[in-house]
Amino acid sequence: MAYEFTGKHLIAGRWVAGSETFSSSPAEGPVRNFSFGSAALVDEAVRAAEEAFETYGYSSRAERAAFLEAIAEEIDARGDDITEIGSGETGLPKARLVGERGRTVGQLRLFATHILKGDYLDRRHDAALPDRQPLPRPDLKLMQRPIGPVGVFGASNFPLAFSTAGGDTASALAAGCPVVVKGHEAHPGTAEIVAAAIDAAIKRCGVHPGVFSLVQGGNREVGTALVQHPLIKAIGFTGSLGGGRALFDLCAKRPEPIPFFGELGSVNPMFLLPQAMAARGEAIAKGWVGSLTMGAGQFCTNPGIVVVIEGETANAFTKAAEQALSAVAPQTMLTEGIAEAYRKGATKIASVEGVRSVLTSTCDLRNATPYLFATTGKEWLANHALGEEVFGPLGMIVTVTDTDEMLAVARSLEGQLTASLHLEAGDEALGAKLLPILERKAGRLLANGFPTGVEVADAMVHGGPYPASTNFGATSVGTMAIRRFLRPVCYQDIPVALLPEDLR
């Protein structure tokens, strides 16, 4: 491997060491030492970001597009090392890391193209009406402007696409906002090498170095200091409901509250309608198992719950799912803590009265096989906890007595990232009743598909009502993600020479 680790933080173009170190916990390969982050390092990084905003916030779209392209090139140039380090740290297969890198550089390039088009600026103009009675109208121009320094939390389950140079960072940089990343302790080496790629791009493009900093974690104080720093204007986060909610509350309690764009938990329910079950119940079961167990079930869009109507087809579906799940080999989870949370979540579900264990996992330290549980619509509706996300390949089949109970289960759901329907000719009437209910619950609705695999595109929504996300008006995937880091400004009668270049 060509990459030589520093074990340090990247603060505005300088590699800075802390006083003490923590050890990485790779699934495979050498354990390395990294400096603990601290509130003082966060402060240094954020101050540099604020200074960088004075130029970067007014850079041209072409300059920022070239910078995003340079980051993508520098990441690809380190591709093999990134794969080796990332796969070793997370236990995710190398092919997954290669694919995720493709997505990461694809996102950077998509945002480069997106800002060059300029639509995202949402420019509006109400021309002056000097003769209007009883009062004249001033000249009004509107445009979206970047908000200032943004804090980003690296996500454990996407070491590349939702971490150091992931979607939050790419969309903030595209908007014109400097970024301070809090690295996730599960993959500090991956964070470091990607930060080195961004640093190289900064130097190549002559961008202010404060535009990007990485403060490694290992210490609770880093995340708290980041969300509470007065110069930080918004946060991008993917992680647990508990952690996300704690950080969201800190953002709300600040003297100047800031938006916290948290993408938290979701069980991504699937509703299997009678004709679809009759026509292809077993095929759906196999597809579900593939989606549920992909990446050891560590996807935000993992479909943890399936709702079916009782009867022969439901029994055959359960059997087919059990068979397919028992053939799934053990997979390495991202951290021992996540594996432990998976086991605890399963134990909690198993203890609920009326829940039947169909398949038990042989999960040990960091390896997991799937769990499958079954329950009735009645039990589901009576036990709110059954709707909570268990991160990992854990599936639950909810058997309802009839279509009314299926609708009741849909109505009882909390906010979700996705909700899926499987339907065939003859299922339309039920589909038409479900859709308006599910539309109020989820950010993305699917028919005859499985939710894992989020397309990075213009029309994607990766968000949803709480607790799927803390901000239902936003998405963390797709070009619309840039809106999180923009703010509309109205320019009333401002002389043209003083207007931002994009509005002249």
DSSP 8-state class, residue 21: E
Between 387 and 431, whose beta carbon lies closer to ligand NAP?
Answer: 387
Q: For the chain, state the CA radius of gyration.
A: 24
* Separation between Cα atoms, residue 308 and residue 223, nearest integer Å: 42
Residue 485 corresponds to which tokens in the numbers above? 């880091």
SS3 421: strand
Q: How far is CA 223 from CA 24, 183, 185, 214, 271, in A?
A: 18, 9, 12, 12, 38
Query: Active-site residue 501, yes or no?
Result: no
Q: For binding to ligand NAP (CB under 6 A), which residues are involved?
A: 153, 155-157, 182, 184-185, 217, 220, 223-224, 238-240, 243-244, 246-247, 263-265, 300, 338, 341, 391
Between 246 and 382, whose beta carbon lies closer to ligand NAP?
Answer: 246
Secondary structure string (H, E, C) spanning 135-177: CCECCEEEEEEECCCEEEECCCCCCCCCCCCCHHHHHHHHHCC
* Separation between Cα atoms, residue 119 and residue 286, nearest integer Å: 42
Query: Active-site residue 263, yes or no?
Result: yes
Which residue in 142, 2, 102 sits closest to 486, CA to CA? 142
* Separation between Cα atoms, residue 83 and residue 90, nearest integer Å: 10
* Least distance in angstroms from the C-beta of 218 to ligand NAP: 7
Between 64 and 229, whose beta carbon lies closer to ligand NAP?
Answer: 229
* Least distance in angstroms from the C-beta of 139 to ligand NAP: 45
How would you class 453 by CB atoms within 10 Å of its CB: exposed for 0-12, middle for 13-18, buried for 19 or more? exposed
* Least distance in angstroms from the C-beta of 16 to ligand NAP: 19
Between 153 and 485, whose beta carbon lies closer to ligand NAP?
Answer: 153
Read out DSSP for 299-318? -TT---EEEEESSHHHHHHH
* Least distance in angstroms from the C-beta of 501 to ligand NAP: 37
Between 228 and 275, whose beta carbon lies closer to ligand NAP?
Answer: 228
Between 13 and 243, whose beta carbon lies closer to ligand NAP?
Answer: 243
* Least distance in angstroms from the C-beta of 34 to ligand NAP: 12
* Least distance in angstroms from the C-beta of 300 to ligand NAP: 3
SS3 373: strand
- Among 263, 322, 389, 405, the one annotated catalytic: 263
- Among 50, 300, 322, 389, the one annotated catalytic: 300
Residue number, nearest CB to ligand NAP: 243
Query: Backbone dihedral region of 330: left (phi > 0), alpha (psi from -120 to 50 degrees) or beta?
Result: beta
Give catalytic residues, as residue numbers: 263, 300
